[in-house]
Amino acid sequence: MAKRPWGWRSCSLLGWPEAVASASYSRPAWRGLVSWLYGSSWMGSGVMVGVVRYEKGLTGYTAGCQGGSYGRACQVGAPERLGRLVVGQPGMEPRSPLAEAFARKTDAELLYLTQHPQAFAPALVQAAWDELHRRGQVPDPEPAAPPAPPTPVPGLSSVAVTLGLAGLNLLVFLLMVAGGVDALRPSGQDLIRWGSNFTPLVVRGEWWRLLTACALHGGLAHLLLNTYALLVIGALLEPLVGRTRLLLAYGLSGLGGSLASLWWHLPGWVNSVGASGAIFGLYGAMLTLTATNAARLSRPARAALFVHTLYIVGANFATGLMPGIDHAAHIGGLLAGALLAWPLSKGMRVRG
């Protein structure tokens, strides 16, 4: 077919201008026309040619462009093959060849790309998202939910019994000092007068001394060491078991420590004071709760608490190997607390 110059005419299709070029040109001539059309207006239509692409080197064809819902799709035809061009609307960015290719993909294909981004190039995944957005298949993100209220930090109320017991020991010590007892080295007679675990009086019926001895201390240093140990274990244990169980464990462990001390020193006698038996009982209860997971803690938390408690117990026994230390009360309190943890943990509601 002889080559002819391009002929133009304007008409309307669905409200959009249509321009048809009817001719037959070789590929180089078509490339020249595309170059001329790019960025130029079609006569009288106001439609700008956008990104133009043709496929597989057609040797002769006709070109027709018609309006669409998103830009303008142009079919380039030859008797045996078809290519596709993309023409943009005024004021719109032209679509890239990649976007045009993705426009022919099904929703399922596009969703597969977006759901497996690690298997594809980022540009392909982004093009799939863009096409899904264009089709209205991807909803706009919903407004973020309001942030959850912050979890309240446990306050002093969570260790109220622990603080109360430490305060009781301090109050008794201050009363002793106010009554004339030496704050650094109280005499044995002073301790007996204030309610120590003195064997001759206990076996005569003054059993209350088994408990009052737990609130007495043999000097300021003794009080400070026991207070520190009580605050450490109480702050860990009371939030787990609650106030009532902690108070029961403390009192019964102190009683167990005093009885162990009394029994250990028979047929002799002992004059013993201190809260260490009751405090060791709290450590024993913690060992049982963490070893059996009665407190229903995570494995890392259980392991940390168990090792920490075991270390403190071992350190106390190691540093306590000196005259004047009532090891029987310590061991008795530790065993009492460890055994009491079993019944006390029944039906326990974990608070931490």
**Same domain flag for 129 and 274:** no
Query: What per-residue confidence (pLDDT) applies to 127?
Result: 86
pLDDT digits (tens, 9 = 90+) for 92-104: 455 677 788 888 8
**Same domain flag for 233 and 110:** no
**257 is a domain residue:** yes
Range from 4-18, 58-72, 162-176, 205-219 carrying the lowest mean pLDDT: 4-18
**27 is a domain residue:** no
Contact 190, 182 (CB under 8 A): yes
Residue 229 has pLDDT above 50, yes or no: yes
Picking from 136, 166, 194, the residue at the C-terminal end of a domain is: 136
β-strand pairing of 82-87 with 197-198: unpaired
Query: What per-residue confidence (pLDDT) applies to 121?
Result: 83
**Same domain flag for 166 and 313:** yes
**Same domain flag for 261 and 194:** yes
Query: What per-residue confidence (pLDDT) applies to 154?
Result: 54
**Cα–Cα distance, 342 to 336 (Å, whole number):** 11
Range from 81-85, 241-245, 279-283 carrying the lowest mean pLDDT: 81-85
**208 is a domain residue:** yes
β-sheet with 62-68: strand ranges across: 10-13, 16-21, 62-68, 71-77, 82-87
Q: Catalytic residue at 330?
A: yes
The number of C-alpha atoms within 13 Å of 70 and in the hemisphere containing its C-beta is 11
**275 is a domain residue:** yes
User: Which domain CATH number covers 182?
Assistant: 1.20.1540.10
Rg of the chain (C-alpha set):
45
**24 is a domain residue:** no
Name the more confident of 22 and 87: 87
Tokens for 193? 């007068």
**Cα–Cα distance, 268 to 262 (Å, whole number):** 9
**Same domain flag for 322 and 181:** yes
**Same domain flag for 212 and 315:** yes
What is the span of the domain harbouring residue 104?
Answer: 97-136
**Same domain flag for 128 and 248:** no
**234 is a domain residue:** yes
**Same domain flag for 175 and 265:** yes
Question: Which is it for the CA torsion 329, 330, 332, 338, positive or negative?
Answer: positive
**Same domain flag for 105 and 236:** no
**Same domain flag for 208 and 327:** yes
**Cα–Cα distance, 96 to 126 (Å, whole number):** 13
pLDDT digits (tens, 9 = 90+) for 304-316: 878 878 877 777 7
**Cα–Cα distance, 97 to 111 (Å, whole number):** 20
- 155: confidence class by pLDDT, cuts 50, 70, 90: low
**Same domain flag for 108 and 236:** no
pLDDT digits (tens, 9 = 90+) for 166-214: 999 999 999 999 999 999 999 999 999 999 999 999 999 999 999 999 9
- The amino acid at 74: C
Count Cβ atoms below 10 Å from residue 287 Cβ, excluding itself. Answer: 19
Exactly one of 222, 258, 330, 345 is catalytic; name it.
Answer: 330
**59 is a domain residue:** no
Cis peptide leading into residue 267 (ω within 30°): yes
User: In residues, how long is the chain?
Assistant: 352
**Helix (H/G/I), strand (E/B), else coil: 90:** coil
In sequence order, the 6+-apart residues with CB closer than 8 A to the CB of 226 are: 169, 217, 274, 275, 276, 279
**Same domain flag for 267 and 303:** yes
Mean per-residue pLDDT of the chain: 71
Exactly one of 196, 258, 272, 276 is catalytic; name it.
Answer: 276
Our count of domains for the chain comes to 2
**Cα–Cα distance, 317 to 311 (Å, whole number):** 10
Residue 1 has pLDDT above 50, yes or no: no
Of the chain, the end-to-end C-alpha distance in Å amounts to 90
- 279: confidence class by pLDDT, cuts 50, 70, 90: very high
Cα–Cα separations (whole angstroms), residue 234 to 225, 342, 346: 14, 18, 20
**224 is a domain residue:** yes
